[in-house]
Structure 1
């Protein structure tokens, strides 16, 4: 079996095979500890747990060093900057408040300002609300980002940019340009999270054009069924039959697993006094129907006839 060192040292274009959760955590940890690597791409199909894995690891190991922003619905780099800023978690807010006051003072002088409001999270959440023109928003966003990372005195700032395939009209090449700015000017490490299979044609082209220039390391997360089942069905008395069906179906989509659990939980109280064999028969049938309905990859991998009810 390929070891973690071999996987991490392969060229970026070669690392397209799937790795399980344990291997993925090892790769991310090595990326964070290696000063030479600045941009990591975490790829995988929807629902396999990419975001959960990355954020859980960073929460446990680098909680005060990272910011997270989903690009879902974002149509400009300025709005991405604002979303990164809105996820700032620390209490060192005075320098940031000074920039906000500057924006408030100057935005009234400019025509047709854009409305931008968001809440700073922390011990005392603060609602910030101001109108900005495009140029002022650009200046303000850059100032805010520089302040954020100057406050991070250990020089280990990390930004997670998620859902690249769900962006709205924002060209992928612009996102890569912004990533280069964060890496070169603000000395950040970047973790990009996306489903490469769902990127539109123009984005696929941009990815192939800029991949070697921007992305230092990448891997495709493909956890085992057992790994993702452990999140949802840890204490189930029917775990054996549940695992059997999911393994045969090849379903490791956490959202499908979670929704299947909700459905089983609705039926369990009605089957408390039933024979175990009959209860398991019902559970199998429920699972097959639900997986076939929810897992869009199911029909490609396995026919319903292939799972014995």
Structure 2
């Protein structure tokens, strides 16, 4: 069987061969590739650590992030401190200075000299070429260098290490960024890029002997990340073939983004232990992956679910929890479990649009009548959600345009009223997400869109009216906003309708504390104006009352 080597394997083989060649001293190697492709991870885990248990244990590596240093002197200090962990290097240092670690940390003196005050370039200059044998220094994060650190100085120092000390140097960078000349050289940032591009082209010939492109496939990077978390129960339940289509669909080669998406799945590891269908567990994890990539890649490809094995888009209440976890880091585990249990019966017993559509498009046979009948049957089920109803109506209008859909529109509107009312009343927080989902389903059908907007407007108005009529509802809303530090447009409209006298009564009846009032003061300019009018009247001529509010952060005009 032929061993097919990946980009990573070939690069590893080449770099290790160069660094092991006894005739190659003072060579410069560039490993270049796109941001997030895993260059640094590859170097640290597959090159720098490869000899820890191997035959070349004497090889020593120093990894210098240019993002973390501000001067060449700091680079030199970092090199010395990292290399001081090597037994071989310590022996060399002791030969010149004695107890090196003590010198650096305690400022001890040898022969009357304080070596802790000695410049690091002077300290390094004590060492001969032979002291750098089997030492490789890797410079990373060129693109994130602080402005005060000059690229010319860094490359000049790298050239010094190569030529004067015969030290092997590896540079990890995104050359597209370094070498690209920006069009607008008048812009300060672009001017800096122009300058750096010229410096790089000038020094490249001096510091680079071997150049390698690091461009691993989606498959390679995903395999490495999954290997890192192979003991996690959620990752054990999945296989690479289920995840890879999403990575490819989003064209994601950024290893950091992949890792963050996998970490989002891991946060939902508790799903593995839930008593729900195995298919639903996998589908939950795939939805988490899809939402993570959509956010992190800033892309919205057509991942509809019809061609993704085991993947269907979850109902909005479930997806709300997933999106909140990804975007805000919030996860109410118990509420998520309850939401899943509510929908599990549907997944276990019911048909779905995805299944019907998959079967309809699987074979090259004319099965439109069967397809339409299955959609009509599904539409009548109690568990069907308004977004699914909207999609069925759209499909029926496309594949059966002669059919009278009046009854379908009426049922959709009734279900929509119930659904939106329930969401608003329960304050579950997925109203805007639900609306986005609805509009996506309805955008191809003008009548559906009109029904949606009309229903949303009516339910919003009903909710606002009911809340305003009840003092208890107002107080409950205020406490919710204060506790959660968040509000929606409906909440905002209700707060704007509270009059100055109503704000005053809430304060004097001790239903609202001064600090709580301050926390909602800036929600809108209208709310702010009404509170200001109330406060002006409340503190007028009462210096103690004015003092109380000032302590809580309120400001008053001098005449108040």
Higher helix share: 2
Confirm whether residue 78 of structure 1 aligns to residue 73 of structure 2: yes
> Unpaired runs of 5+ in structure 2?
109-116, 179-191, 231-235, 306-312, 314-560
Q: TM-score, normalised by structure 1?
A: 0.72
Structure 2 residue matching 1:304: 3-state secondary structure: coil
Q: Is the 2:31–2:213 Cα contact (8 Å) retained in structure 1?
A: yes
SS in 1 for 2:265: helix
Alignment of 1:193 onto 2:195: no
**1:193-232 equivalences in 2 (<5 Å):** 193-199=172-178, 201=193, 202-232=195-225
After TM superposition, the structure 1 = structure 2 runs for residues 160-175 of structure 1, keeping only pairs within 5 Å, are 160-168=138-146, 169-175=148-154
Q: Is 1:55 paired with 2:44? A: yes
Shift of 1:204: 2.1
Q: CA RMSD in A?
A: 3.4
Q: 1:187 Cα deviation (Å)?
A: 0.8
Match of 2:123 in 1: 143
2:157 aligned partner: 178
Question: Number of matched residues?
Answer: 262
Structure-2 separation of matches of 1:150 and 1:128: 26
Higher Rg of the two aligned structures:
2
Task: Name which of structure 1's ranges 38-47 and 281-290 shifts more when overlaid on structure 2.
Answer: 281-290
Query: 2:302, 2:262 → 1: CA distance?
Result: 22
Q: Distance in 2 between matches of 1:268 and 1:244?
A: 21
Q: TM-score, normalised by structure 2?
A: 0.42
CA–CA separation in structure 1 for the residues paired with 2:168 and 2:12: 16
Q: Which runs of 5+ in 1 are unaligned?
A: 5-18, 103-118
Structure 2 contact 162–207 (Cα < 8 Å) conserved: no
Q: 1:28 aligns with which of 1, 9, 15?
A: 15
2:254: which partner in 1? 253
Provide the residue aligned with 2:35 in structure 1. 46
**Residue 249 of structure 2 contacts residue 301 of structure 2 at CA under 8 Å; is this kept in 1?**
no
Where does residue 276 of structure 2 map in the other structure?
Answer: 274
What is the distance in 2 between the residues matched to 1:231 and 1:146?
A: 42
Residue in 2 aligned with 1:11?
Answer: none
Could you say which structure has the higher strand fraction?
A: 1
Distance of aligned partners of 1:94 and 1:191 in 2 relative to their CA distance in 1, 3 Å threshold: closer
Task: Determine which of 288, 291, 301 is the counterpart of 1:289.
Answer: 291
Helix, strand or coil at the partner of 1:147: coil
Question: 2:243 touches 2:286 (CA, 8 Å); kept in 1?
Answer: yes
Alpha-carbon distance in 1 for matches of 2:149, 2:40: 21
